Structure 1
Amino acid sequence: MKIMVAGANGLIGTQLAADLRRSGHDVTAASLSLGVDTVTGKGLEAAMTGAEVVVDVTNAASFGDNSALDFFKASTKNLLAAAAEARVRHYLALSIVGTPRLVESDYFRAKAVQENLIRASARPYTILRSTQFYEFINGVIDIGAEGNVVRLPPASARPVAAHEVAAFLAELATGDPLGNIIEIGGPEQFGIDDIARIYLAANEDQRQVITDPSTSYFGVELTGDVLLPHVGARVATQKLSDWLYRSMAA
């Protein structure tokens, strides 16, 4: 099967393309560094030629102001138009758990627009929402970092290993479009503040984590279980402690 991966040089895209190739699929890797610009449309037609499936794992360079919205609107519209022209049978995209409940954030509002464009198109689609990756915990810590202190909210999350998200995307890419949104999350539930404490301790980082419900998460104050996947979500298997052990060993 010929599959085009848009955003193929990112964390998920790199692993996804490798997983698909190992399974014997013909993968076209598309990214800005490979001459494909989803925002302008440059190189899209050639990259899409002959593809049966498109997997959109693109991401905005910035999470603030209107730049993320501008990116996802232009990129998604161009990808969908090229997919229609190529008569792609399945448009698969990666999104984030909690997106509809976090639209006060510029970034999550941009992701909601991306989802809505895909759902409103004539393309058979699947959208996979994932919880936060273990690999991005350090970025979450940076949100609340103030010198030797890190302020983070206690909102619950189920972080997940990126390689398990990539593997699930590969599985979905080779199946029929679901015409729906599905989710994946990790096997354990922690408060964001506790995730930071575990991560910092494992890395022998002496910064103190202070629980502060008012600390914003990508521009929005968290309440309730907005970061948790719904009942029926795919549950990944790698625990945070195992991921930390393997990442430090690597």
Structure 2
Amino acid sequence: MTTVASIQEQETPVTMLTAYDAPTAALADEAGIDVVLVGDSIGNAVFGYESTLPVTMDDMTRATTSVVNAVDDALVVTDLPFLSYGVDRAQSLENAGRLLKEAGAHAVKIESGPHTVELTEAMTRLGIPVMAHVGLTPQHVNSVGGYTRQGTTAEQAAAMLDLAKSHEEAGAFSLVIEHVPREVGAAASEELDIPVVGIGAGPETDGQVLVVDDAVGLSERVPPFAEAFGDVRGEMRQAIERYRDAVESRDFPADEHSHSEGLDL
């Protein structure tokens, strides 16, 4: 079974994929994915929101429970949603603990800033493993002006790396770095001792993470830093169309799909 400790010692690149339900989580686990992330991207991918901001603790708790129930080997990390942390220390710790205690997650991920360094230290002291997240942090979409690349100047990159190091020193067991120049991703992996998992951060990071809908080809549009490794969207559309046609032509249900008791009615 993959653990926080084994991820830190892993020599091969870390594979990480989101999942929001039991069937998807089971497939990721069966495929040997190291880390299943219950992302607050559920807001965009499942609920149809334009951002992750409306996602609630109840949403994340239910989704995490579903994923945990389906996973045997992967490490399950779950996102703390917008405003569930960083406002009140006690409430932040309670929410993080809830995802471990009630939903069964192995660790939490927080979108990181200077205000989350001490929180990371407090969580780890209580036995809550923390995955930090720097670069593009989607919960800050309104303040950064969209889903734009971060760390594009030397000054911005240096500040980002300092922030990442501060979270490592505070006890974070790993780091996600999102949508930054590959040089920044490479520097983070070089300078930090904890695993650095990239998304849109180049090939030199210690691992990669993608939203499962993008990876399997379910998303209508795939971000430029992602790749669709299948065409699930096309396969689903064809299957639904075949079902529609079979019902309209009365080919379904056929005799083999029906049961008769020979009743005289």
Q: What range is the shorter-chain TM-score in? A: 0.3 to 0.5
Normalized per residue, the structure richer in strand is 1
Q: Which structure: larger Rg?
A: 2
TM-score after normalising by structure 1 = 0.39
TM-score after normalising by structure 2 = 0.37
